[in-house]
Chains A and B, each alone.
Chain A
């Protein structure tokens, strides 16, 4: 997309829109030069990152659960791996970015901030994600592979593609988030600007700052036409302020429901995170956060069942990115997830067609087993994955 002109005329605005369409066409042209990919006719998949760091005790344990829909209903419909863990390898951290990349790539890695920032969490996957693998194997458009991300962890916007030389940007997923809406909104506002010059500079600077977060993408930083159209509808319903739409993890649920309706993604991951607020000491943020995610899961399952495009054709994967501590020496034992034994303890629940119902598998499994399992169900290979498919899930 060409840079915005200093003084935007109507002609310039229309030229910009044309360029946007050109970018979209160019991307498709690039894809079409690669070997022809078959149309995707397999299962859809919705991945629910259940936290923010969530322990088994407050999720899948019937005695202590704050997620009754997950614990009592979804377990009847699918296979629960209640003894999944994040391997205790040296240099592996139990946190959100790392856990999410474990899930998306099927490989453990000692992730470090790419800019070396202290406490920074800008990670890049070195092996392709499930999005890239799906899009490389099948003719799946960018907007049909989606990450729905929250506003507290912007660095996870950029899990949409890896740094692998054979994959990367041409096979990336799209991202729905407040950050993406803000960049869309700023571009629209700048395109239609008729206010003061000083304000214009401020808005441009704001847009540049937001877009610089996407440091791997140079030049063309716009979103695809389908995503822009999505935001147009979102904007006309919820307005510009960001104060009317749902907030926190409820926003992610709303974005996901809209995505299912408008974009029809074949593969979508929802990055719930708010239960992580317990880092600041309020125990009820953890338990309420879990309840909010559970309600989000319930709404997404209902939406899938009500939509002929998704009904009986969609598999759910529900798993946390990491566990939390169980430090009995503290007033709030699950306040953090500092690589304790409990922080390594996770779970995964798979439910949908092709998945056995009502099973609980207690054998030890690994978080990196999720990606190859997803690949098996959707019909693409994950040769870079270190994990093994969860065979007990297949019916």
Chain B
């Protein structure tokens, strides 16, 4: 669940993108400026740093530095986080110009290998690779990719770190660090009224073999990624026709299940929303109504370490939220019938954060005796115990973990 924590506000400029980890939030805005914040105090760490022109995307490339790409200039900034030292590189770089300004998820990095990929040049299949080990930049046109790349997400897949690339023709390509395309998933175009629709991928999120794909047309698709099986589709609202609304709403890397969503189109209503969607339970956990004249949100994110979420609500404001930690804790249970005599049985644990959102978390058989079962910390549960050999015998208890 979301709980509003506070605001970060700047006096000038328009926020474009951000990234967060371990209580640090880094941002770029139209200044062009780079800023670093403490997510606990919400204080800016040091004076903002002037960056390359039209910064469109920023990502942490390791624990101590970040890279920034531009929508118009063929160069990349490296920023050392402790002091804000900036170095600009041009060799091999192109403009991350496919989608242009105003949408997040145009660059993402694997901080373990210090490799980042970004959208590039508005050319079919082209990506830009940034190597944080050697400070080298290269571009690659991917074989088998039939449209421009719009969205980039680094993820921990079945075979290790990779990147998921969303495109302007409704596809998601998984690449390795080479980069080579290793898998392609195509969004469904049915059912339809006789003509297949066009999809533009605007957001991606991934957790535990579940992939969320957001489109500029307002549809969120959820997949079991390993089998490319569609689990759910949800309509969250499309941009209007006309204008540069190919941007669409971005998502963010999932923090053990949840990701954030906020509409990124020029809404008619002067109020916006920030929603938490949970890939574990496949539902919208919470939707905050946001006041003021706030119409579009280019970028959202979650700090996976301290479970603080952030949303760039319009130009000069970032809203910070606390999320329920998905950290697990071992909760002991046992079934006795009669009291004092352990027996085998079935345990069903149901999360009950609030009415309407109950979700089965655990459903397994247990042996006779005490058993530790991991469950989410700081969560309300109901636990059912059922005797294996006598299914009509039940017990039930309330748990707060």
A binds B: no
